[in-house]
Structure 1
């Protein structure tokens, strides 16, 4: 009987103290009062524009928040938090150069696709968590971009949304 009483008190104490802390899911630390987030459309302001990149990025960010938190995504400026920004750079550059004969120009052996997103996060309950920051990710590839571009974009968008989510909700 005494063991049952001690067990009951221990479990009750654990439950009461955990309710006053932040809710953690998949490494995210989201205060209990934070219930809604407004994720605005991320326009593509990069010099090189790819069709559907804005839509794909915005939806991927929303899906990451939906799948890894309990937050409700709303289209309301009065949401508890807001995430906004723009795609500011989309570039394809040489990643490695192969030397050729002295009479020929060097050629790219591999190329790099880079995407940079500017993100502004506003938390109405804890202003210390607010930030405005650029996130850049890239993938190296060989050969022609046209056959690989959509797959590369998906990989980069996945990495970007993970970094943005972690910055906003995992406090790193």
Structure 2
């Protein structure tokens, strides 16, 4: 009986010492407390081969990604943003990969590069910070497929990856 009491006491002590002291669903991540709103300027297109509407699509994807995955809200007319994002698409290229006999490609790769500058500014808290995000992402496809028929699907995959790169950089605080 005495051994059983000691085992129960040790288990109780061990389990309660590992128990969390508080549980919260509030975002207390690495974002500075003063950062509440963000503004994203439309991306510039410096890549000559990119579709004309692609900068707008990527800009909107990044805005949605930040709003859905961080506590930052899109600033309105009467709201001063503490986070400002500017940038441009620097590369948009289709290149052959997986060459076969006779220099024919079995697959092609669509590669997109974007560079963004992120500015953090909270004058009341004396917090300013600046960072650059350079993201190069790609999607492969079968060379028998016409790029124009699958381009929107490939760009959707690439946009998801670029958005994640931006969010990771904003939340990393380094």
The TM tier, using the shorter chain, reads 0.7 to 0.9
Return the alpha-carbon distance in structure 2 between the equivalents of residues 122 and 75 of structure 1: 17
Return the alpha-carbon distance in structure 2 between the equivalents of residues 147 and 14 of structure 1: 52
In the alignment, which residue of structure 1 is the partner of 2:7?
none
The 3 A distance-change label for structure 1 pair 75 and 119 is farther
**The one of 103, 111, 116 aligned to 1:114:** 111
In the alignment, which residue of structure 2 is the partner of 1:140?
140
Q: Which has the larger radius of gyration?
A: 2
List structure 1 segments (4+ residues) > 2 angstroms apart after TM superposition.
Answer: 75-78, 125-128
Structure 1 alignment gaps of length 5 or more: 1-10, 101-105
2:49 corresponds to 1:52: no
Deviation at 1:127, TM superposition (A): 3.9
What's the CA shift string for 1:137-170, capped at 9, x where partnerless? 0011112212111100000001100111101113
Q: Is the contact between residue 95 and residue 112 of structure 1 (CA under 8 Å) also seen in structure 2?
A: yes
Where 1:33 maps in the other structure, the secondary structure is coil
In the alignment, which residue of structure 1 is the partner of 2:94?
92
Deviation at 1:51, TM superposition (A): 2.8
Return the alpha-carbon distance in structure 2 between the equivalents of residues 22 and 149 of structure 1: 36
Q: Is the contact between residue 39 and residue 75 of structure 1 (CA under 8 Å) also seen in structure 2?
A: no
What's the CA shift string for 1:80-99, capped at 9, x where partnerless? 11111011110000122112
Where 2:161 maps in the other structure, the secondary structure is helix
CA RMSD of aligned residues (A): 2.5
In the alignment, which residue of structure 2 is the partner of 1:150?
152
Return the alpha-carbon distance in structure 1 between the equivalents of residues 22 and 160 of structure 2: 36
**TM-score, normalised on structure 1?**
0.76
Q: Is the contact between residue 34 and residue 80 of structure 1 (CA under 8 Å) also seen in structure 2?
A: yes
Return the alpha-carbon distance in structure 1 between the equivalents of residues 27 and 148 of structure 2: 45
Return the alpha-carbon distance in structure 2 between the equivalents of residues 50 and 41 of structure 1: 15
Q: How does 1:1-172 map to 2 (within 5 A)?
A: 14=22, 23-24=28-29, 29-74=30-75, 78-100=80-102, 106-125=103-122, 126-128=127-129, 130-142=130-142, 143=144, 144-171=146-173
Where 1:70 maps in the other structure, the secondary structure is coil
**TM-score, normalised on structure 2?**
0.75
